[in-house]
Each structure stands twice: as structure tokens, then as C-alpha cells.
Structure 1
Amino acid sequence: MQRNTHRTNKSLLREINMMQEASSPHVIRVRGVFKGQPPKSGWATQLGVVMELMERGSLASLQEALIRPPPWPLVFRLAHQVALGINFLHSLPRPVLHLDLKPQNVLLDDALNAKLTDFGLSRISCSVAQVSKKDDEDSGGTVSYMPPEAFGETYKPKRASDIYSYGILIWSILTGKQPYESKRLMCL
């Protein structure tokens, strides 16, 4: 159990570092880090991250609450703000690849402005075609938002991986549906 906590803390610290590098109006801000004992955790001490409050939850929760797709002005604004967030990440001196763009990772403030979150799978891009990644790190993302080449053994994420996921995300915003929801996705 101690080893898992150490690995979880290391992963969280890596995610926090990624989020701190990506300070933009379209990327969630880290306000602080705390160390404590969550309820029902026994004596286990864990790290946690304090982020800015996004009153409206995620884009996924908005989609669930709406009976139909959002109105066109909101669709365009959300698509634009997510694009600005991705562009910001990809334009950093050390470009960041998000690698898990989906409605659950787009948070909304009280005015329904979008910000990217969840940098647990993010990587620093070394070049357009190569990404830093250790063999023991998780790779992947949410299957229905991943590009087809991600399922190949020699896959190396690049900026185009986020752009593909962005396209699927835009389709999801436009339709109010989850991609491939009527299909059973299988991973080998």
C-alpha cells in the first residue's frame, strides 16, 4: 500500500507541475497543494491539489443536464475556448500534449466559460514527432476520443493526437452525444 501511495503522489506532483507550466485563461489554475488524511482513509496521508472553483462542473455534466445539444452561440464559444487552451499548451516553449481531451476534462465556470483540466496523461513534446515518455508511465486516454493510430504498438503521441481528440470533442459538443455510444468498444 505504501508503494501505491508513493506512486500516486509522484503522479499527482507530475500533474501539478504540468498544470503550473500551463497558466492560461483557458487552462485550470492550481491554487495549492495539501497533504492530509482524507475521510475514510484510515491513517494514510495523501497529497491533494487545490484548483480554482469551476461552479458549473464539466462539459459532460452540462451535456447530461441538457435535453438537446447546446445553442449555437454556446457551441461556438466552447469550441473556441477549448481550441485556445490546446493552442496555448502546444505553443509553450516546451509544448504540452494533453492526450485526454474529452467532455469530462473541460470544466465550466459560472458563465459557462471552458477551461482544460486533468493533466494526468500529459506529456512534454520534445519535437513535433517525438514525445518524452518513460516505459513505466501510463499511456492512453479515453478510447472513444483517441486517434486510430494510438492502438498501434509503435504509436508516439504528437500534437495531431490532441487535434484528433479535439475533433471528436467538437462533434460531441455539437450533437450532445458521446462518440460511439451505441457501439461496444473493445481493447485487446
Structure 2
Amino acid sequence: MGICFSSEKKQHSNCNQTSPPVGHGSAACPTPDKSAINTPLASKNVKDLRQSPGYINVSIFTYDEMSLATKRFRPELILGEGGFGVVYKGVVDDTVRTGYKTTQVAIKELNREGYQGDREWLAEVNYLGQLSHPNLVKLIGYCCEDEHRLLVYEYMASGSLEKHLFRRVGCTLTWSRRMKIALDAAKGLAFLHGAERPIIYRDFKTSNILLDGDFNAKLSDFGLAKEGPMGDQTHVSTRVMGTYGYAAPEYVMTGHLTARSDVYGFGVVLLELLIGRRAMDKSRPSREHNLVEWARPLLNHNKKLLRIVDPRLEGQYSFKTAMKVAQLAYQCLSQNPKGRPLMSQVVDILETLQSSGNHELQSGDGAVTLYEAPKGTIVSPAKKRSQNRRDGERGGEAHRSNPGNGRSKSEPMNDFDRNNLSPNFVSHEK
């Protein structure tokens, strides 16, 4: 799990406290209903929620029913534990509620002594109760009885992306599966950003991306989500909350939140998928603790990139596709928010790369083995001499980069231009 931070001391909310309309997405429906998030009717506090009839397709459970569904919260049914509380695997069936179709669920119980309280719990109910998209985890129901706060989600059989991406033993995620997960997650963010009033997720990270039995990815844990700017507003001012290593630098420094803050977080996750390292890893040498600061300057250098791509992916990817994914991550991680793409553009790019990458691998064009020149690529004589020269260069160093901000001279300062991702993109080393 990531380390969460906040610029303010966290206080527990009581039933009469108001909270900003923040939230989460839900459901698996083939055609997302955008109107569902145009005019949210969010409950302002728990008392208000208790007096409302609830949301369509969201069940209201009793605490006794939750106890039955988890066999009295048996420890062996624990799926995980985070800042919110403990998550249990459960089953809601006819023995829990008469006539209920047997459904595997994940039940998250709020830890009343934790740093998250009614505000985040209510946020998830408000948004998950209204949103429906294949790449947002579905909220099946909730329990708000006395001091008990529980959320009931669809069960995601394969767990989190974090668990699979950083596992030390066993099978690893293939290149194609990683790119499919990236595309799924991008679609979820694009849906949130595409609302009449954009919804900013604010805590995009590998542990919040869950995978079903077929490894389809869905966003979960919307407790920190926030409604974005409207009309002439350029940003939303809010306390700084999120996870170290994933939060956009301008948000951390100013508290100004925009949809492009999420794009930065997406860029971090895309970098983790590409390189196979955590956003923050104190077990590595000091200059490599922060993945973005270390890796971003290397992303548009062909030879350096191939040296840092996850070695477990050897032979699985096209050289051209890997370069384009690296450049997309580079743009998403721009220090200048306007230099980042929109999530709708990210979706388009990843869809194109997925189809072109599969074609290249099937045809044998551009497949590479790490530390070797890519096959089937046209290399100029000057470039070939440069590649053959033994310069003693280490793959993890960026001698010409500025470690302070991770930005190169070639970084665009204007709105993202999709033409930058032309098939012929090559960034030559000077």
C-alpha cells in the first residue's frame, strides 16, 4: 500500500458534519450513462443519507447481514487492509437476505480509529451510487447502522495490480496484459473526467486498480475523489491528500487540483508498468528512490530506455511500441500540467498502440531483446557508430538531465500535441 499524506490533521467526522461531494465510480454496463453524473444529488452527511431512499441498484444492508456474509468477520476471509480498514471476502445469498441471488462480494469495514472517517466513506457511497462504467468497481450496497460503516463491492478475483506487478516469485504480468490494464484504467479516468462537471480521482495508484478473474482492470477506492472546476474556474483548491510518488508536483505545492493532476498519477503507474519498479522504493540506491525523478529523463533515449525496461518482459514487446509507451509516460509526467495529454487522448493512443503492437509482434517486426539493437529498424551510419561505441555509460544514469525537476530541454510547454507521437519519433542522444 502507498503512504498517504495530508496537509491538514485528519479528524473523524460525525453524523452531522458536512462533507464536500467527493466520490467513486461503479458498475459494469456496456454503455456508460453519462447523464448519471451530470447532476449528482449527493447526501451531505450520514444523517441525510439515512433519511434518503438510497440509490437505484444499491442495496442497504444491516450489520447482522454483513456479519453473516463474512461468517462473523472471520480472519481467514481478510483480503487486505488499508487506511480505510479491513476488506473481507464474503457471500451475499439467500441465507443473508431472503431471495437474494448468490453473489461473491468484497466488504470493506471502516476502522473508526483510522485516519479515514465518515467523509471518505460517504464520498464512496455518493459517487458509486450514481456512476456506472465497466472500468469502475461496482458498489453493490452499504451498511450505515449505529457506528458501523461498511461498503459492499463486486468481488475482484485477481486482486490489485500492485500485488501482481511487484510480486517477487511466480508468474509476472506479460507486456500485453500490462498494456491492457493501462488501457482499462485510462478508460476509467477518462469517463470520470468526461462528466459535465469533471470528477478528479486524486489517488490513482497500483493498489487502487483492481483486476477481475479475466484481468480486466477497474478503479476502486474513491474516498479522495473531488468534483473538478466548472465554468471559468481553472482549478479546485483543496487540502493536499494522496500518496507519495503519485501526486502531481503542482498539486503538492499549491493545493490546486485539476484533471491533469490525475494524468500525472496515470503517468507514474504507466512508468511502473514499463519498468517494473515501485513509485517509491527506499531499498534502492538513493538516486533511485523516486522512480519518476530517476527514470523520466531516460524515457526518450532509445538505448537507455531498453536498459531500464522490466527485464522480465524480454522478447515480449515491439521496440517501436515500447518507445511510444515511454514517450506517452514522459508526456503524462510533464512538470507543466498543460504539457500533459487529456485522458481521452491517452485512451486513443493506447488503443492504437495495442493494435499496432500486436501486429508487429505477430509479424516479427521490431521485436527486441534487452541490451541488443532492435531488429528490423533502420539505423543511420552515425547512429550505428554511436551504438557500437563502448562509452562505459550506465543504463540508470542521466548525466545531462536536471534531477531537480526531471524536465529536459525538449519538453513542450504548450498543450499536448498528439502529433508528437508519430511513428518516426526518435530522440537522439547528444
> Taking structure 2 as the reference length, what is the TM-score of the superposition?
0.37
Structural RMSD (CA): 2.3
Find the aligned partners of 2:244 and 2:264 in 1 and give their Cα distance.
12
Contact 2:200–2:225 (8 Å) recurs in 1: yes
For structure 1, which runs of at least 5 residues remain unmatched after alignment? 37-43
The Cα of 1:22 is off from its aligned counterpart by 2.8
SS state at 1:55 partner: coil
Matched, 1:123 2:226: yes
SS state at 2:242 partner: coil
Alignment of 1:133-152 (within 5 A): 133=238, 139-152=240-253
Matched, 1:53 2:155: yes
Contact 1:144–1:180 (8 Å) recurs in 2: yes
Contact 2:164–2:172 (8 Å) recurs in 1: no
Find the aligned partners of 2:159 and 2:266 in 1 and give their Cα distance.
19
The Cα of 1:65 is off from its aligned counterpart by 2.9
SS state at 2:143 partner: strand
CA deviation digits over 1:90-136, x for unaligned, max 9?
A: 00122110011000000000111100011111100123722274xxx
Matched, 1:162 2:262: yes
Contact 2:132–2:138 (8 Å) recurs in 1: yes
Structure 1 residue aligned with 2:126:
17
**Taking structure 1 as reference, are residues 21 and 129 closer, same or farther at Cα in structure 2, changes over 3 Å only?**
farther
Matched, 1:85 2:174: no
Find the aligned partners of 1:22 and 1:126 in 2 and give their Cα distance.
19
The Cα of 1:74 is off from its aligned counterpart by 0.4
**Taking structure 1 as reference, are residues 66 and 86 closer, same or farther at Cα in structure 2, changes over 3 Å only?**
farther
Q: Which has the higher contact order (CA 8 A, sep 6+)?
A: 1
Worse overlay, 88-97 or 173-182: 173-182
Alignment of 1:20-39 (within 5 A): 20-35=129-144
Contact 1:5–1:46 (8 Å) recurs in 2: no
For structure 2, which runs of at least 5 residues remain unmatched after alignment? 1-10, 18-116, 291-430
Find the aligned partners of 1:91 and 1:177 in 2 and give their Cα distance.
30
Count how many residue pairs are aligned between Structure 1 and Structure 2.
171
Residue of structure 2 aligned with 1:171, choices 262, 266, 271: 271
The Cα of 1:10 is off from its aligned counterpart by 3.6
Find the aligned partners of 2:130 and 2:269 in 1 and give their Cα distance.
24
**Taking structure 1 as reference, are residues 132 and 34 closer, same or farther at Cα in structure 2, changes over 3 Å only?**
farther
Find the aligned partners of 2:215 and 2:276 in 1 and give their Cα distance.
15
The Cα of 1:23 is off from its aligned counterpart by 1.5
2:162 maps to amino acid: A
Contact 1:24–1:85 (8 Å) recurs in 2: yes
The Cα of 1:70 is off from its aligned counterpart by 2.2
Contact 2:192–2:200 (8 Å) recurs in 1: yes
